[in-house]
Homo-oligomer: A and B are copies of this chain.
Amino acid sequence: MFFHRQELQFKATPDQPDAVYARKLQEVLGGQYGEITVAMQYMFQGWNMHIPGKYRDLVFGIGAEEFGHVEMLATMIAQLLEKSPLGITEEAVQSDPAVAAVVGGTDMQHAIVAGAGARPFDSMGNPWQGAYVTASGNLLADFTSNANAEMQGRVQVARLYHMTDDSGVRDMLAFLLARDTMHQNQWLAAAAELREQGAEELPVPSNFPLNKEHREVSYQYLNFSDGQRASEGPWASGPTPDGKGEFSYHEGPTTNAPMPPPTHPDARFYGTTELPNTMEKMAGATQDKLKKE
């Protein structure tokens, strides 16, 4: 169950309206790596988790905080839009290129659809979608996904920090940046613990019997491009992070197989098959089948 409190975790009030910036903030509200994504992702990880205790408490404990971040951003966006020129006709607007530029750079649906309100969409107007969520049940994979989400999110917030000089907005972003710092550290600590305790190891999933994979290509760097400096990296020689092998470097594939011949499905799919002479035979076969129907 969820309980809502009509307070924010941190102050979210801009100094002045800025409709274009409101649109930009939508990215970290409703984008691929926005707050709706992490809120939903952590909750679904909790609901799908196969293990009680600290890991489930962890995803629930943070997931609920992230819904509060959605709220902070939505509240901020509505305020940024409150007094902005959103395309409502005024004489001044028409003749002022600066105002025209602002209107041109806004999210049109902020005005037309939401009446100066926030939306569960990204900065280019794409609706948030469940396909952004990762919750596989494998915790090492999922915590790595979480670490990535917090990294991408913090990169985006850092960029947004430099796209405004509104001190109220920056203050809120400074708070979100700090929380992203926490969450990056937290997921990496949790992932490290999983590996230390042997709950999951590399390669993920670690329970899959390694002897069932083709071990001869498990640590080969195969270079399919013509730049060769990748041979200099720690992924091309030396021990592997999973502690189970040694990297080696190879130009191109070390295995190959001929392409299987083209398929010939039932003639009634009407794919083009052989050239005329053969066609006639096949068509004959088809006609026979068709006559039966």
Residues of B contacting A271 in the complex (Cβ-Cβ under 8 angstroms): 48-50, 115-117, 136-139
Chain A, 124-150, contact with B by CB distance < 8 Å: what is the 0/1 string?
111111111111111111001101100
| B130 in contact with A131 (CB, 8 Å) | no
Interface residues on A, range: 35 or more
Do residues B27 and A177 form an inter-chain contact, with CB atoms below 8 A?
A: no
The smallest beta-carbon distance between A284 and chain B, in angstroms, is 11
Within 8 A of B (CB), among A85-119: 86-89, 94, 96-98, 100-109, 111-119
A255 to chain B, nearest CB (A): 5
Give the complex CA separation of A247 and B224 in angstroms: 31
Number of copies: 6
- A10 contacts B109, CB within 8 Å? no
Question: Which of B125, B126, B174, B242 is the one whose CB lies under 8 Å from A185?
Answer: B242
B262 touches A163 (CB 8 A): no
For the complex formed, measure the closest distance between the CB of A141 and the CB atoms of chain B, giving whole angstroms.
4
Contact A136 B163 (CB under 8 A): no
Contact A109 B131 (CB under 8 A): no
Across the interface, do B225 and A269 meet the contact criterion of CB distance under 8 Å? no
**Residue pair B107, A104 in contact (C-beta under 8 Å):** no
Mask: chain A, 40-63; 1 = CB below 8 Å from B; 0 = not: 100110011111111111101111
CB pair A7 B112 closer than 8 Å: no
Instruction: Determine which of B64, B177, B269 lies in contact with A116 in the assembled complex, contact meaning CB atoms within 8 Å.
Output: B269
Please state if B112 and A266 are interface contacts (CB–CB under 8 Å).
Answer: no
Q: Is the CB of B112 within 8 A of A137?
A: no
- Top 9 nearest A-B pairs (CB, nearest first) are A104-B105, A124-B125, A48-B117, A137-B271, A120-B130, A205-B270, A115-B137, A127-B130, A57-B227
